[in-house]
Structure 1
Amino acid sequence: MQLVIEATDLPGSSCPPGADFPGYDNIHVAVQRRGSPGDLLDLHPGDAATARWVLECKTTPTPAGLDITGPYVQGRPGARFVYLSWGTVDGDGGFVMFRRAKLMWAGVDQATADAAASAGRITARLGLTDARGNPLCAAVRPPLIEWSA
């Protein structure tokens, strides 16, 4: 099955410092490979109009619902997620992560998961700017993310 992530409302190329946030410049976002924080899929600048990733995944029916696995799927069964890693990119192209968003598979309702398994594709749509205007981070569940088959 393909997991397609379609992101809009990116926060821009920089975010100013705040009370608990040092601020960053030349920010980018990418999907992080499981077990390899430095292995990133399709780095997008923070000021892009949109960002899109396509992940190849495997699904397995379980008594608790549909389980999903793949090179970019993190977590244990029942607690799967995909990391979107935010970081700065230096002049040599080096990426230094400063925060992550966890797109939680548990936020997919059973009917949507079953329809996606039959169709071979599920799409996650979300905005990537938080309420403070910074890059979205922490666990992301509906209504911040919309899952559809």
Structure 2
Amino acid sequence: MPRLPGAGGHGMMAGMRIRIDAVDLPGLTRPASADGRVPAYGNLHVAVQRRDRPAELLEPQPGDAPSATWTLDCTTSASPNGIEVRGPYVQDRLGRRFVYLSWGTVDGSGVFTMFRRAKLMLDAVPADVLDAAARGGLLVGRLGLTDAQGGPLCARVEPPRITWTAGRAD
């Protein structure tokens, strides 16, 4: 079967969107931990952090929202290691790509102060799902944002904490 120009050729760039669908947000407040090591936080918000620009946040959502959705434009290309994902909101550290969800407090003047982050690990997306997403134009990550202690989910996030599926960008 003949190959169409730009149809999955080695190194060819293609557009893709990553949609993050979050549920089970932890609420607007976080009480201090019993041992005092974690302070109390108020007016919690969560947002996607731009690569190398921690102060640039995409669509901050209040911690008590019923759900939150972010859509990130990115590109994909084939490499010897599989599909590479790049974009303004895709972090790249030591060859490991991920999306940061930044948790912070918002003060009376609207200033966001980050106190922790979750790393949605793109290298943990199953290869067949990422391949299908690159073809269809959409990768969807679904996750709950409350950790086992009832606070904001942080640290590395990989399946089964997040479910990745491929879709069509229509």
TM over 0.5, shorter chain: yes
Would you say 1:17 and 2:32 are equivalent positions? yes
- One-letter code aligned to 2:29: S
Distance of 2:132 and 2:77 partners within structure 1 = 13
Distance of 2:160 and 2:56 partners within structure 1 = 29
Paired residue for 1:88?
105
Would you say 1:72 and 2:89 are equivalent positions? yes
- One-letter code aligned to 2:107: D
C-alpha RMSD over aligned residues: 0.9
Corresponding residue SS for 1:113: helix
Distance of 2:124 and 2:22 partners within structure 1 = 17
TM-score by length of 1: 0.98
- One-letter code aligned to 2:31: P
**1:79: Cα distance to partner?**
0.5
Would you say 1:136 and 2:153 are equivalent positions? yes
Would you say 1:31 and 2:48 are equivalent positions? yes
- Percent identity for Structure 1 against Structure 2: 57
1:51-92: per-residue Cα shift (whole Å, max 9, x none)? 000000000111111110000000147400000000000010
**1:115: Cα distance to partner?**
0.3
Q: Which runs of 5+ in 1 are unaligned?
A: none
**1:121: Cα distance to partner?**
0.4
User: Higher mean Cα deviation, 127-136 or 58-67?
Assistant: 58-67
Q: Is the 8 A contact 1:2 1:121 kept in 2?
A: yes
TM-score by length of 2: 0.86
Q: Which runs of 5+ in 2 are unaligned?
A: 1-15
Q: Which has the larger radius of gyration?
A: 2
Alignment length (residue pairs): 149
Paired residue for 1:46?
63
- After superposition, the Cα gap between the structure-2 partners of 1:66 and 1:76, relative to the gap in structure 1 and judged at 3 Å, is farther
**1:100: Cα distance to partner?**
0.2
- One-letter code aligned to 1:125: R
List structure 1 runs of 4+ shifted beyond 4 angstroms. Answer: none
1:88-110: per-residue Cα shift (whole Å, max 9, x none)? 00010000000000000011011
- After superposition, the Cα gap between the structure-2 partners of 1:102 and 1:64, relative to the gap in structure 1 and judged at 3 Å, is same
